[in-house]
Amino acid sequence: MIPDDIVAGLAKKQIAIALSDPIVYLRRMAIRRPEVVRFHGKGYWDAACAWAPAESLPNRKKVAA
């Protein structure tokens, strides 16, 4: 998903990110999570799911709780 779409989706669910720039916040938080993969210019994706356009295979590493 593109960051703008993520922020819009959260707004539809009445979830606000109380910062001056919610997209920058999402970008910083997403790159710190092993569950999220960033495809430059294409947005973010669930690391556990394959995504054919980027030839991405699921991340099968165990994530610490």
Helices (H) and strands (E) counted in the chain, each on its own, are: 2, 2
On the question of pLDDT at 62 being above 60, the answer is: no
The pTM of the full predicted model, rounded to 2 decimals, is 0.53
The ranges assigned to domains in the chain are 3-54
Q: Which residue has the higher pLDDT, 21 or 3?
A: 21
CB 1 within 8 A of CB 43: yes
List pLDDT tens digits, range 8-57: 888 899 888 877 888 888 778 777 878 888 777 777 877 788 777 766 66
